[in-house]
Amino acid sequence: MRYSVWNLARQALRGHRHWQPAWRDADPAKHYDVIIIGGGGHGLASAYYLARNHDVGRIAVIEKGWLGGGNTGRNTTIVRSNYMLGNNTDFYEWGMKLWEGLSQELNFNVMLSQRGQFNLCHSDAQMDAARRRGNIMRAHGIDAELIDASAVASALPYLDYRDSARFPIYGALYQGRAGTARHDAVAWGYARAADQLGVDIIQNCEVTGYSFQGERVTGVHTSRGHIGAGRVGIAVAGNTGRLAGMAGLRMPIESHVLQAFVTEAVKPCLDHVVGFGASHFYISQSDKGGLVFGGDLDGYNSYAQRGNLPLVEDVIESGVALMPWLSRARLLRHWGGVMDMTLDGSPIIAPTPVDGLYINGGWCYGGFKATPASGWCFAHLLAEGQAHALTEDFNLERFANGRVLDEKGVGPVAWAH
Amino acid sequence: MRIRCPHCGLRSHAEFSYGGDARRQRPAESNADAAVWSDHVFLRDNPRDVHEEYWQHTHGCRVWLQVTRNTATHAISAVSIAADKSESPCNEDEQ
Ligand SMILES: Cc1cc2nc3c(=O)[nH]c(=O)nc-3n(C[C@H](O)[C@H](O)[C@H](O)COP(=O)(O)OP(=O)(O)OC[C@H]3O[C@@H](n4cnc5c(N)ncnc54)[C@H](O)[C@@H]3O)c2cc1C
Ligand SMILES: [Zn+2]
């Protein structure tokens, strides 16, 4: 059923008793041409673009829990394209372009809100770094503006602009097309659209291993039995190490926990996405009014979807240093998600040494914005067997041959990216 | 999460800095095989289970510890001083 104002009116007149489920709850078939493990945004987007752009036969997405219950439903929903190394720049911008048409494409309102993002600078050195990043973005046709403190002050009047401020504001790198989107809607929109193209979405089905014929993957063992597959794609966010481990592979990845926070709803007070430059802190206000924010990783290997209190204190101290009025808001909830932290901080969309097995992972804490482009390019890889031009740099060999994409320049320390 | 430092007692993990997987063995300096080195620098076991890892008591006695911790539950089952634990404190080329 298409979602439209006419259908809404029609259903309203019929007492809302005739809406259809947004997707079928499929039971596993014996065999699929392509199986994607992981029903988060990336797995579902991959299945959708695979069905839409390619001709590969039967496709299934296998999810151990419910759709979007992983990081897709746990993130702070910031969408931007301000990267500067290798494929990162154009890849994330392709994602931004897909975001801009996504609600129409999926016939599902993903509530993209291009409210603009300010990355604040607090020193001359940070202004220089922001200028460099902005110039690289503009050379790639991406919107970026370096603005001075007075321009920041007119947009964000609630910050401290005195020279005596603890972290004086010199200016900001501003991306006007950046913003936020509704995380659940992204999972549900892709699921519904993929289902309409015939993709089977199988929930409550955990992958526990693979079957092989010689060197080639021939299917997956699951909590609901064996399912045969021509090709298998892994899109399981923080669990990539485990799913690769089941095939005997070691990954350039450590799993770490990242926390996020939301306050009680307050009247509109924060119109943009704001990133603090003197400490790791980013904040926006949701449509419901909650202030949504986050900061650093807890900083130790973890598969627990919860963090510890010292980090809560650390993030809130950073927030209050930037916006003292935040101290009066009451925290409603905080939670954690498990990140695939790669050793260079950039993602992996690549074939593996195992025939027929492909990986989409290593998204660190920036993978929500990547969802559409990641699905697009992973679908290409699964269909063609080789990387899409936008993701050639996201291979596994880069770690051995020195072509790492380390945007932050911190070296091979997973929790420092 | 709290870590029992053998010198200082049970302290908040905020006093400690993380040092990562303690099972990784640094190859000998004489090993010229680039693949061995890139595996050492970049690949991880990353278990969802018991993990041997280094922590330094940075804001306490500054000793390096080896901690046995479950990455699925954060439960710590053993703590020892890393220098006592390590089988080969120096790699084979030195001394
Ligand atoms: C607190 C937090 C804040 C974040 N903030 C941002 C942000 O502001 N902007 C941004 O761009 N990104 C952000 N991210 C990162 C972003 O959320 C992720 O990179 C992205 O959502 C990953 O999507 P995914 O589809 O790969 O993973 P997920 O949504 O986690 O989906 C993976 C799925 O795989 C399933 N799975 C795992 N193992 C198995 C198995 N054995 N069998 C079957 N299924 C399995 C899981 O149940 C899960 O549903 C944040 C993440 C967190 C945790
Ligand atoms: Zn101590």
At B37-71, the pLDDT tens digits run: 999 999 999 999 999 999 999 999 999 999 999 99
CATH assignment at residue A399: 3.50.50.60
pLDDT > 70? residue A55? yes
Length, in residues, of chain A: 417
pLDDT band for A269, please (50, 70, 90 cuts).
very high
Asked if A301 and B34 come within 8 Å (Cβ–Cβ), the reply is no
**Amino acid letter, residue B86:** S
pLDDT > 50? residue B95? no
Residue B17's nearest CA partner among B70, B81, B51, B63 is B63
pLDDT for residue B94: 43
- The residue-averaged pLDDT of A256-285 equals 97
Q: Which chain B residue has its CA at the smallest distance from A300's CA?
A: B18
Domains: count for chain A: 1
Residue A298: inside a domain: no
Any ligand 1 atom below 6 A from CB of A35: no
Residue A137: inside a domain: no
pLDDT band for A371, please (50, 70, 90 cuts).
very high
Average pLDDT, chain B: 91
CB A220 within 8 A of CB A62: yes
Rounded to whole angstroms, the Cα distance separating A275 from A282 reads: 4
pLDDT band for B87, please (50, 70, 90 cuts).
low
pLDDT > 90? residue A163? no
CA of A336 to the centre of ligand 2 (A): 28
A chain contacts of residue B18, beta-carbon cutoff 8 Å: 299-300, 415
Q: Which run of H or of E encompasses A253?
A: strand A253-263
Rounded to whole angstroms, the Cα distance separating A154 from A269 reads: 14
Buried b (16+ CB within 10 A) or exposed e, A364-378: bbbbbbbbbbbbbbb
The range of the structural domain enclosing residue A378 comes to: 25-108+182-252+344-416
Interacting residues of A122 by C-beta distance below 8 A, sequence separation 6+: A167, A168, A169, A170, A277, A278
Partner-chain residue, chosen from B13, B14, B43, that has the shortest CB–CB distance to A252 = B43
Structure token digits, residue A358? 């492909």
Rounded to whole angstroms, the Cα distance separating A376 from A44 reads: 11
Q: How many Cβ atoms are within 10 Å of B41's Cβ, its own excluded?
A: 16
Residue A221: inside a domain: yes
Residue A8: inside a domain: no
Partner-chain residue, chosen from A239, A241, A400, that has the shortest CB–CB distance to B38 = A400
- The residue-averaged pLDDT of A347-371 equals 97
Residue A248: inside a domain: yes
Rounded to whole angstroms, the Cα distance separating B76 from A5 reads: 56
CB A277 within 8 A of CB A284: no
ipTM above 0.90, yes or no: yes
Exposed/middle/buried for A228, CB within 10 Å: 0-12, 13-18, 19+? middle
pLDDT > 50? residue B91? no
CA of A71 to the centre of ligand 2 (A): 35
pLDDT for residue B93: 46
pLDDT for residue A280: 94
In chain B, the domains with their CATH numbers are 2-26+37-94 (3.30.2270.10)
pLDDT band for A390, please (50, 70, 90 cuts).
very high
